[in-house]
């Protein structure tokens, strides 16, 4: 069992990283390459036999390998200030110096950005388009701000146009039944991952295992092996002991800290246990609908960060309630304001930490420790009042 998990992980990693740097040295790729943002309908690209890479994810890998400072400084020397999203600064430094822990991703033939997450991404992709002189496709998802039928028509047309352009680029014709299969794979991956998230709330699972484990749902959600891996992971987690209920349950509201060996501030978690995180539910996309295009619309138009504040609060509250957290550790992320505002009105004591998910220099551990002590006191007071 353990061996199969390792084999599946290794296979997915190998598939993703096998061509890093290889083509930077002038070798011609075997298929067309896209660089995409984290909530791009990659099922279309997979069905067309294209390869795709995620600059945001690679920035996380760079920080995990301890290389982010040099690359962020290079980026600042060139054009972007360190106040911009650290994912972009870190990755821009990487492609400027052609240097990264696993090399650099194969050069793109097309860039695809979506705004269902934030507006930084289309701007960042514009910078990449200037660097590589390749077509840039921006998908505009209106979210809940436009009524259902109109939004569906608007997004469907963009997806059809994307298919048309990528068919020309890749030289392949989209087979709807293959697209349907890719969407089913994604759906299976999401369902298997949701079961893992449920285990996390009740068992002694290290948060690191989920913060790292979700990477496959991001970069390989429509590959069959991802759901297989998650089913095995869940079986493995079911063998873990139950969580220590004497520890105070808290919800991690924000990104993992990619530079940290545990991906969260484990050193200030004395007496606490993490029971949930919004980050590990962001890719639980809802692929419901009768046709492949309806399913893609539903999944990518209504991503968590593309919802209105009220809906976000409602979803977040459901998530926190399910985890049985008594308080939250809320990250006021230097890079990402849109994530932080999700935490409004959640009605629980919060420790609000100033932090960045990539830039390790932007952290005062002493202050964070004091905030956690205050959080513990606040939770005690609230529980006495109930
Ligand atoms: S971290 Fe925030 S600002 Fe940066 S790309 Fe992600 S969603 Fe956008």
80-94: pLDDT as tens digits: 888 899 999 999 999
Does residue 1 surpass a pLDDT of 60? no
Q: What is the CATH number of domain 31-174?
A: 3.40.50.11890
| pLDDT for position 336 | 87
Between CA 19 and CA 102 the distance in angstroms is 10
Contact 139, 112 (CB under 8 A): yes
| pLDDT for position 21 | 76
Q: What is the mean pLDDT of the chain?
A: 93
278: burial class by Cβ within 10 Å (0-12, 13-18, 19+)? buried
Between CA 212 and CA 258 the distance in angstroms is 9
Q: Judge if the beta carbon of residue 85 lies within 6 A of ligand 1.
A: yes
| pLDDT for position 263 | 98
- Which residues have C-beta within 8 Å of that of residue 129, sequence separation ≥ 6? 111, 135, 136
Identify the CA nearest to 204 among candidates 251, 239, 231, 253.
239
| pLDDT for position 89 | 96
314: left (phi over 0), alpha (psi -120 to 50) or beta: alpha
Whether this model's pTM surpasses 0.85: yes
Q: Judge if the beta carbon of residue 188 lies within 6 A of ligand 1.
A: no
By three-state DSSP, how is residue 166 classified? helix
Residues 319-338, mean pLDDT to the nearest whole number: 90
Residue nearest to ligand 1 atom 8, measured at CA? 118
For residue 255, the ligand 1 atom closest to its alpha carbon is 1
Between CA 227 and CA 241 the distance in angstroms is 24
Between CA 2 and CA 6 the distance in angstroms is 6
Q: Judge if the beta carbon of residue 280 lies within 6 A of ligand 1.
A: no
The token pair that represents 323 in the structure block: 């985890």
Q: Judge if the beta carbon of residue 109 lies within 6 A of ligand 1.
A: no
Between CA 72 and CA 77 the distance in angstroms is 9
Residues 318-329, mean pLDDT to the nearest whole number: 93
Between CA 31 and CA 35 the distance in angstroms is 13
107-146: pLDDT as tens digits: 999 999 999 999 999 999 999 999 999 999 999 999 999 8
The CATH fold assigned to 244-385 is Rossmann fold (3.40.50)
Alpha carbon of 333 to ligand 1 centroid (Å): 10
192-249: pLDDT as tens digits: 999 999 999 999 999 999 999 999 999 999 999 999 999 999 999 999 999 999 999 9
3-36: pLDDT as tens digits: 699 999 999 999 999 888 766 566 777 899 999 9
Residue nearest to ligand 1 atom 3, measured at CA? 336
Q: Which residue has the higher pLDDT, 179 or 99?
A: 179
Does residue 341 surpass a pLDDT of 80? no
Residues 175-193, mean pLDDT to the nearest whole number: 98
The residues of the chain that CATH labels 3.40.50.11900 are 244-385
CA-to-CA dists, residue 226 to 83, 244, 264, angstroms: 35, 30, 24
Between CA 374 and CA 349 the distance in angstroms is 9
- The most distant pair of C-alpha atoms in the chain lies apart, rounded to whole Å, by 67
Rg (CA), the chain: 21
Does residue 326 surpass a pLDDT of 70? yes
Per-residue confidence at 171, pLDDT binned at 50, 70, 90? very high
Q: What are phi and psi of 283, to 5 degrees?
A: -95, 15
Q: What are phi and psi of 98, to 5 degrees?
A: 50, 50
61-82: pLDDT as tens digits: 999 999 999 999 999 998 888 8
| pLDDT for position 384 | 75
Q: Judge if the beta carbon of residue 338 lies within 6 A of ligand 1.
A: yes
Residue nearest to ligand 1 atom 4, measured at CA? 85
The residues of the chain that CATH labels 3.40.50.11890 are 31-174
Residues 322-339, mean pLDDT to the nearest whole number: 89
Residues 326-348, mean pLDDT to the nearest whole number: 82
| pLDDT for position 25 | 64
């Amino acid at each position: 069992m353990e061996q199969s998990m390792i084999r599946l992980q290794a296979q997915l990693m190998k598939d993703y990283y096998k061509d890093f740097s290889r083509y930077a040295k002038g070798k011609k790729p075997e298929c067309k390459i896209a660089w995409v943002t984290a909530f791009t309908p990659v099922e279309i690209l997979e069905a067309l036999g294209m390869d795709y890479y995620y600059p945001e994810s690679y920035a996380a890998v760079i920080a995990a390998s301890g290389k982010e400072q040099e690359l962020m400084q290079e980026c600042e020397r060139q054009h972007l200030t360190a106040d911009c999203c650290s994912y972009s600064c870190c990755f821009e430094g990487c492609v400027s110096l052609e240097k990264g822990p696993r090399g650099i991703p194969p050069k793109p033939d097309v860039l695809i950005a979506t705004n269902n997450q934030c507006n930084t991404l289309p701007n960042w992709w514009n910078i990449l388009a200037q660097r590589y002189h390749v077509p840039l496709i921006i998908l505009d998802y209106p979210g809940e701000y436009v009524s259902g039928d109109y939004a569906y028509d608007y997004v469907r047309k963009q997806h059809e146009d994307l298919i048309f352009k990528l068919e020309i680029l890749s030289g392949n014709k989209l087979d709807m039944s293959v697209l349907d299969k890719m969407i089913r794979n994604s759906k299976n991956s999401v369902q298997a991952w949701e079961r893992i998230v449920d285990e996390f709330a009740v068992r002694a699972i290290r948060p690191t295992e989920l913060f790292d484990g979700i990477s496959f749902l991001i970069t390989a959600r429509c590959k069959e092996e991802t759901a297989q891996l998650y089913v095995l992971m869940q079986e493995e987690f079911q063998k873990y002991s139950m969580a220590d209920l004497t520890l105070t349950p808290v919800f991690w509201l924000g990104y993992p800290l990619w530079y940290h060996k545990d991906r969260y501030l484990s050193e200030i978690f004395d007496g606490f246990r993490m029971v949930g995180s919004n980050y590990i539910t962001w890719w639980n996309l809802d692929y419901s609908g009768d046709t492949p295009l309806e399913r893609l619309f539903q999944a990518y138009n209504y991503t968590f960060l593309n919802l209105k504040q009220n809906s976000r609060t409602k979803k977040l509250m459901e998530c926190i309630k399910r985890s049985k957290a008594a308080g939250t550790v809320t990250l006021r992320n230097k890079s990402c304001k849109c994530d932080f505002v999700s935490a409004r009105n959640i009605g629980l004591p919060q420790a609000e930490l100033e932090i960045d998910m990539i830039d390790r220099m932007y952290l005062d551990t002493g202050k964070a420790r004091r905030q956690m002590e205050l959080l513990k006191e606040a939770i005690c007071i609230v529980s006495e009042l109930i």
